[in-house]
Structure 1
């Protein structure tokens, strides 16, 4: 059902992945211009994929196992995105023009937190249904 707490968590994760990437810059270059996710195609595609997975997962409420698996895949995608940001921020000076990191680099962490909370709630629902089935 759509009125579960995991729907709220998944919706927040989708808003973080789809909406906040246009608001917060990933980093600033040495010239002072802000770089957003739209400027980096791979990062933009990964953010969009993460947000779409969250939205798809919301409507998979009848199949909790698939919803749980989609949440795990989304968490792995966000960890990969976070790894790309860490690699770019720790690269040698001169390879990337990153002078100051922005809040946008931490958006995958926020998304991961809400996805973990959603998966925990999905697992709790699945355990509740299994316990009720044992009573029948």
Structure 2
């Protein structure tokens, strides 16, 4: 099947399919006019790739997992990769939560400013500029 049909059937863009090929996740044959042609099994493979991306895995990890997925034989390395990716995602979530909490504090300060946080509310609000005479 051609790239447009695969994209339609798998629910992705043709751009995504080209990216998958560039990353080594998907293979195609080429016609005499250099158009991509995919096997029927590519539909299921693209859906699997999409699931792995949805799970937060980067393409470099998916490439490393594919041999185990294709053979149905999960290696210890596969489990280690998945555990490492889970740890990476957990760390990113904690960092995002910390950033969200800091932003919540900024929003609270903006909604209820105090002299401690807002120089414009201090007495005096500003000090006159005193130039140093040379």
TM-score, normalising length: structure 2: 0.34
Whose helix fraction is larger, Structure 1's or Structure 2's? 1
TM-score, normalising length: structure 1: 0.33
Give 1 or 2 for the bigger CA radius of gyration. 2
